[in-house]
A and B are shown apart, each in its own frame.
Chain A
Amino acid sequence: AQSVTQLDSHVSVSEGTPVLLRCNYSSSYSPSLFWYVQHPNKGLQLLLKYTSAATLVKGINGFEAEFKKSETSFHLTKPSAHMSDAAEYFCVVSPKAAGNKLTFGGGTRVLVKP
């Protein structure tokens, strides 16, 4: 079984300041982990993924995430928020197997203030 908890449903940051979105996961096997972003009226876009290579993963638009097995965490960060980062972010876990249904966290809505 697998589950994902995003610890903050809403995060508000000022433009130019760091963003931290927290994610903890539970999985009975070594999983793949993803962050997806959803802008208003758009589909889910892949930001980055971890699949057991480097534990620090770099994604698009300056985002990165660090896989910490001991803490079962996969937090997403960006050093400097931009207005265009306002969106909903989903942490997702998947088994490394054929079929691989995704299990989503509840999402974190990011507000960026000018």
Chain B
Amino acid sequence: EPEVTQTPSHQVTQMGQEVILRCVPISNHLYFYWYRQILGQKVEFLVSFYNNEISEKSEIFDDQFSVERPDGSNFTLKIRSTKLEDSAMYFCASRRQGQNTDTQYFGPGTRLTVL
């Protein structure tokens, strides 16, 4: 069964450094998402992406964040200058296009630790 994959599983970085979190969505999916979960808090929506552009973003997704689909398989989340409060588990998800296809399939997550 196809799965969403994410790399790395754990990333440790210094405050102010740039990080890129990588995701490989399921191959015939066309909608892509990033969510995050700060320890002890709810899973929060960050951004959705369709047809090579952002379709919706949350207040969290400020100018320090960007997303890209650099090729036909990868979907990346970049944080330009990390802050301590960016430490969280980041989940990628993808979804097919079409009727009755609102199920999002999640990857295992990348745990980001900012020191």
Contact = CB atoms under 8 A, between A and B. Distances in A.
Interface of A: 32, 34, 36, 41-46, 49, 51, 90, 94, 96, 98-107
Tell me what chain B mostly uses at the interface: helix, strand, loop, or mixed.
Answer: strand
Contact of A94 (B55, B102, B106, B109): B102
Contacts, number: 57
A43 B56 contact: no
B73 interface: no
B55 A43 contact: no
A88 to B, nearest CB: 10
Interface of B: 3-4, 31, 33, 35, 42-45, 48, 50, 55-56, 58, 91, 93, 95, 100, 102-109
Q: Of A102, A106, A107, which is in contact with the most chain B CB atoms at under 10 Å from its CB? A: A102
A75 to B, nearest CB: 19
Contact of B107 (A43, A90, A99, A107): A43
A36 B102 contact: no
A46 B103 contact: yes
11 contacts: A43-B4, A43-B91, A43-B109, A44-B43, A44-B91, A44-B106, A96-B102, A98-B55, A100-B102, A101-B56, A104-B35
A43 B95 CA distance: 15
